[in-house]
Structure 1
Amino acid sequence: MSWVIVSLAAATMLAMALVLSFVLGWANRAFHVEVDPRVDSAIEVLPGANCGGCGYVGCGEYAEAVVENNVPVNLCTVGGKSCTEALAAVMGVEAEVSYPWRPVVHCGARYADRLGRTVYKGEQRCGPANLVTDIQGCTYGCLGFGDCTRACDYDAIHIEDGLARVDYRACVGCGACAKVCPRNIITMAPFKQERMMVVECSNLDAGKDVKAVCKVGCLGCKACKRTSGMFAIVNNLSTINYDNYTRENLESGLLAARKCPRNRLVFVGVPSEQDILAVAEEDLPDVIEPDFKTSVDDTEWRG
């Protein structure tokens, strides 16, 4: 009798296996999605950092966008020129030139330069601290609690004396630091040269109000604008017109930097050699401007 039960169980299992095999085979044919083999090839040449610097969630999504939507092949800041060329080869297109994009910190005030600072005992992060309106006099400046440092996977940005500083030799341009800064004083800028002149300030207030909260903030005095056509004053703040940023105009730009009473026109940079692409024919944007936020811009008021 026992052998009958065993045989029945074995037959039942065999029948179930045959049915499931049939169902799985049918499902595989019915729901099969044809994948362009170039997607796998594109994924193979990407660095696999999944940093999001290209604007996509990860390397896989970017690879699909390149193959299926003809997205430019030069968006990978981590892979640099070699990655651009490899993706171009996969797609059978000519490698498009691009600038290496790197972060710029639009603040130069260290602890000793900040006026009106108060003792902050809350969570030691920039996000929560940004909601406290009186943490420091300048509502535009770097908070210095290191959210950008923690966001960087390449150890390329550090807090020095309360101020974020970029190590451009380690930076790959992923943009993680710019995305996490609650005041948006870290912006991504195209580097046409190894060293680029920038304005190390973000305060949009009038000069007398800047003096009240910072020892080094831009006063909007227009000395730079009068000296060089590279500069413009926008909302009381000096900005650089990068369309006029040429080697020929740099001489007047250097003179303007020397005339700045607050020494806020400085050079930053030195990307790695592999990131300096052939950009002679590419146009620079007119002005590289941060999208500044103050302590209260994202506050939801109740009452």
Structure 2
Amino acid sequence: MATATMTASTTALEPSGPRPKRLTADRVGLYVFLVIAAAFFLLPMYVMIVTSLKPMSEIRLGNIFSLPEAWTIEPWLQAWNSACTGLNCGGIKVGFWNSIRILVPSVIISIFIGALTGYALSLWRARGSNLLFAVLLLGAFLPYQVFIYPLVRIYSSVGIYGTMAGIVVTHTIFGLPLMTLLFRNYYSSLPIELFKAARVDGGGFWAIFFRLMLPMSTPIIIVAVILQVTGIWNDFLFGVVFAGRENLPMTVQLNNIVNSTQGEKLYNVNMAATILTALVPLVVYFVSGRWFVRGIAAGAVKG
């Protein structure tokens, strides 16, 4: 009797309608769109890669989509070690190490100040904090070109124009509005009871920040690192204006290589140098893309 009852209940729970179609018109259309979009974005990358692996004798034939007949990595070695940027023929590696020296302190300082400012504006709201936050956000939407001449005059007067300190300060200043927005919204989304409990336990401004808020900020710190690394690494304008000749970042060096007017246009070397310049942002996105989504979902756009 029990077995019959179980069989009847199992039969009642089984779906009785028609099976859903695996391929519908909507799904086919979605797949077609995704394939076209992927081809649209990946085709230039394919052309760059195959061109960078061809000798110039094949490139002159004009078959940009064909695979190399004689594969070579010589353009990559030349782009890294001996490509000329003006009178200097040290390759793109000079700009790479300059970009690293610019990137590391700029990312650390801008994220730390942004986290501290967002923490103060969200949990220690003083009189006028909303006005200060509005002023900071205004700086994120004004064109950068508006600030270049005043900053050049200020940096020249204090002696940091054309130095590593000048370019680091510039990236820190212009990264502060976005970093403050991210951390303020993230801290505002946290339960206020945690902050109040820390105050009751005798925690002060710095103790709560370092012992409570920063350990809980891993998701949004990852988002901030991704945004700052890609933004600072891809920067050209600030690098060419504020870095000085001895500290030109990789993007400026790439421009000098590609736009060189000396001798033959080496398209394979130019393509290899372009890919080398884009490697760091690509690696950051591929490695930490899922963490970026998690950080956004954890409160980066709440508030």
Q: TM-score range by the shorter chain?
A: under 0.3
Higher strand residue share: 1
Quick check: which one's helix share is greater?
2
TM-score (norm 1): 0.24
TM (norm. structure 2) is: 0.24
